[in-house]
Structure 1
Amino acid sequence: METLVTEIAPDVYRLSTYVEDADLLFNQYLVDAEEPLLFHCGLRALFPLVSEALNRVVPLERLRWITFGHVEADECGSLNSWVTAAPRARVAHGRMGCLVSVNDMSDRPPMPLEDGQVLDLGGKRVRRIETPHVPHGWDAGLMYEETTGTLLCGDLFTAVGNAPPLTEREIVGPALAAEDVFGATCLTADTAPVMHRLAGLEPTTLGLMHGPAYTGACGAALRDLASAYAERFARSVERGTARPGP
């Protein structure tokens, strides 16, 4: 295996490892600024590969922020490895996730982030957007880099297989095909409205965790996936198996 580094927007880097046994891409994102930020820590087993890749862009000791979307092994399994390697970095996560999990998990006390809170990195600004249960996880949230219009969207649009680093090809179909396999998305009455709010940002780039970075019509893709999920939720209501919402 190898971890490939691609600049998907000015000073925003995708660190991507294809794991053949799982037939999945595992991506982390580095926002390079005066205070560099890592979004997603990755699996513990991938830490040597991913940290070496990050070190090719910025020295590990310069890393100042470690963040992730929600508590799951591929998002924060290697958290404490990063904490050890980057002595000046602060761990940051949503307030709920800190209370429920990260206060106990992290060897370095985390900074709880509020919905809409912005971290000024010096040349880049990342905003925490709370998305409970979207696509899954009580503590789920995303990061939006305001200066480049890059939405680091975690498990949204998850697709199986390897892929090029950047694409303008349609990503909704592959996401729905993966959903048929994994059933990983929490389909509730709030799922589509949350995604429509994300679409309202009109991002220029989507940083997927499991798939290529997308540079096509990002707002339209979010709305189309939201509509597809709304249809699936409606069918579950008809069957009597729906969740009303958080």
Structure 2
Amino acid sequence: MITNAAAGTNVQEIATGIFRINTPVPLPDGQLFSFNQYLVVDDAPLLFHTGPRQLFPLVSEAIARVISIERLRYIGLSHVEADECGAMNLLLAVAPQAVPLCGQVAAMVSMTDLADRPPRAMADGEELDLGQHTIRWFDMPHVPHGWECGLMMDTRTRTLFCGDLFTQGGPSETALTDADIFGPSEAFRLQMDYFAHAPQTADRLAALAAQSPRVMAVMHGSAWEGDGAALLRHLSEAVSPH
């Protein structure tokens, strides 16, 4: 569903009750790069990634095509960066029941101050009941970057909201694919290696693989379905010292 023809913003369901909001944005070199947000429609709706502040009109317009934006209860982020939480306070202003959702470190060092409403801070392994969906939080310090990084998975659909992992260049017209995204994402990563390569990176990725995700909700690029555990193991091998 195209929600803004001029910008190309579109919404597609990638798993039961989970919608990808996608906007292709021109980069300074003229290439297009995609910004995705994920809306979990449930009794307590959740948005993961807000998009940059300047995308707020497009993102809010897209949300409103699926649910009333005032119904939002949680606005999640992986780490503190414009594409993760740039539009946080704009969303809080139009969703009076919503609170930021993040890890405990992000709440402590940034979001308690930056956000206009106190955050709901999640502990590693903690679960949050949205109704039909249950969200499990994973602390992911420095994976791929930032001490406060965290990711989450819907245990019902086994959708891993994997943030900057498996970033692909281009506009990503395909919302959900089972084609290779590892090759394109590695080619993109190697241009400007944004991984921290911390000592625990391999162990953290292995812990995610043990969750056996089936859908990878990528923030930049197409979402992917298949053997998520194998995909994460490939990534672990690629970023580990040899």
TM-score band, normalised by shorter chain: over 0.9
Establish whether residue 99 from structure 1 lines up as the match of residue 108 from structure 2: yes
Alignment-derived partner of residue 86 in structure 1: 95
Query: Do structure 1's residue 10 and structure 2's residue 19 form an aligned pair?
Result: no
Equivalent residue, structure 1, for 2:207: 197
Residue 224 of structure 1 corresponds to: 234
One-letter amino acid of the counterpart of residue 130, structure 2: L
Question: 1:239 maps to what in 2?
Answer: none
Identity %: 45
Q: Quote the residue 2:153 is aligned against.
A: 144
Between Structure 1 and Structure 2, which shows a larger proportion of strand residues?
2
Can you give the 5+ residue segments of structure 1 that lack an aligned partner in the other structure?
Answer: 235-246
Q: Distance in 1 between matches of 2:99 and 2:88?
A: 11
**What is the alpha-carbon distance in structure 2 between the residues aligned to residue 161 and residue 176 of structure 1?**
14
Aligned partner of 1:65: which letter?
A: Y
2:62 to 53, 57, 65: 53
SS at match of 1:228: helix
Structure 2 portions without partners, runs of 5+: 1-6
Q: How does 1:89-238 map to 2 (within 5 A)?
A: 89-163=98-172, 164-230=174-240, 233-234=241-242
Equivalent-residue separation in structure 1 for 2:184 and 2:85 (angstroms)? 25
Partner of 2:25: 19
- d(CA) in 2 for partners of 1:188 and 1:109? 30
Q: Partners in 2 of 1:165 and 1:227 — Cα distance?
A: 27
Q: In structure 1, what is the Cα distance between the partners aligned to 2:100 and 2:141?
A: 20
Structure-1 residue corresponding to 2:3: none
> Separation in 2 of the partners of 1:15 and 1:214?
15
Q: How many positions carry a matched residue from both structures? A: 232
- What's the Cα RMSD here? 1.0
Look up the equivalent residue of 2:215 and give its one-letter code. T
SS at match of 2:163: coil
Q: Which residue of 2 aligns with 1:62?
A: 71
Residue 124 of structure 1: how far off its partner (Å): 0.8
Query: What's the offset of the Cα at 1:109?
Result: 1.1
Question: In structure 1, how many angstroms separate the alpha carbons of the residues matched to 2:141 and 2:32?
Answer: 27
- Code of the aligned partner of 2:239: Y
- CA-CA distance at 1:17 after TM superposition: 0.7
More helix by share: 1
**8 Å CA contact retained: 1:169, 1:216:** no
Query: Which residue identity lines up with residue 128 of structure 1 in the other structure?
Result: W
What SS is found at the alignment partner of 1:153?
strand
Cα deviation, 1:187-238, whole Å, max 9, x if unaligned, reads 12211111111111111100000110101221111111111111xx33xxxx
CA contact (8 A) 1:144 1:151 kept: yes
Alpha-carbon shift at residue 20 of structure 1 (Å)? 2.3
User: TM-score scaled by structure 2?
Assistant: 0.93
Which amino acid in the other structure matches residue 116 of structure 1? G
Q: What is the CA distance between 1:95 and its match in structure 2?
A: 0.8
